[in-house]
Amino acid sequence: MTRVACIGECMIEMSELSDGRFARAYGGDTLNTAVYMARLGLAVDYVTALGDDPFSSEMLAGWQAEGVGVGPVVRLPGRVPGLYIIQTDHAGERRFHYWRDSAPARALFDIPQTPDIIEALAGYDLLFFSGITLSLYGAAGRARFFDALDRAQARGARIAFDANFRPRGWPDRPVAHAAYEQAFDRADIVLASTEDLRLLFGGDNPTERLLVYSSAERVLKLPDLACRIVMADGLDQVVAAKPVARVVDTTAAGDSFAAAYLASRLAGADPVTAAEAGHTLAGVVVSHPGAIIPRSAMPGFLQPSDGFVGRTQA
């Protein structure tokens, strides 16, 4: 079976309710993708660092209940996870407020266990991470992370990169540009939104930088409920999504799209069919509050099997 590793950070999530109270959950972009991948039948582990506190233990139990593997998770004594608050407006758009500067996930590639983490990552068939993942680590940590990607690719792994960009996570644009270009250079699949690319690169047509720089399979999420698929073999096609009757919360729309897209590609679907699957799952997710929808609300599609991203067998 194809094995997937999602790398990043999970935080305590506090969602503000209409009466001013808060509902507590957990979330993070790559964690959300890992949960949806597991629900779609993939063998997926989450790779991160947590504390030794009750909230971290609660997270681990929740991930295991969702079928996400926690074997690679490192627990650091005396540390606690980051926290964020979500405020959602009447149109379903959200604002985030973070408390995460000392979160244990930021130390993942700067601890004594780092060599073991790098070695473990080389045993997966697909490594998935995001721009937010990159922002967690300092320069030395990112260098070790990229070394881990290189070692995994040398053993036959594929790399999928979601270009989520949050300016506040970076000291300046040049540092972010350099990190993203290294990620683009290594990725076999890049998922990016025009909004993120404009925030990162600026200019009138920031997507052209990705299209010219990267030769990966590129999935560009457009502002009008569509995505553009660009492949090295010449495919360049826009895939529209069906309108959603009622948008409640756009949290994890991109994360769930990534999960369904990658799961479909792993099952052997072509990129257009995979994009349609991504739109379908994302459309359901934005119709519910929070990052992770009830399991009963999951659409009944996709039965992943070994395929597109798996290693070549001898």
Mean pLDDT computed over 83-98: 79
State the residue for tokens 């790779």: 47
State the residue for tokens 């881990």: 148
- Strands (DSSP E) found in the chain: 3-7, 11-16, 22-27, 43-47, 49-51, 74-76, 83-88, 94-99, 126-130, 158-162, 189-193, 217-222, 226-230, 236-240
- The reported pLDDT for the residue numbered 214 is 66
State the residue for tokens 């690679």: 72
Rounded distance, CA 272 to CA 309, Å?
16
Asked if pLDDT for residue 98 goes beyond 90, the answer is no
Asked if pLDDT for residue 314 goes beyond 50, the answer is no
Residue 29 falls in the annotated catalytic set: no
Superfamily of domain 3-297: Ribokinase (3.40.1190.20)
Closest CA relative to residue 249, chosen from 314, 197, 293, 199:
293
State the residue for tokens 């659409």: 299
Q: Which two tokens stand for residue 271?
A: 């990129």
pLDDT tens-digit map of 166-223: 999 999 999 999 999 999 999 999 999 999 999 998 877 777 777 876 678 999 999 8
pTM over 0.95: no
Between residues 310 and 241, the one the model is more confident about: 241
From 125, 162, 196, 255, the catalytic residue? 255
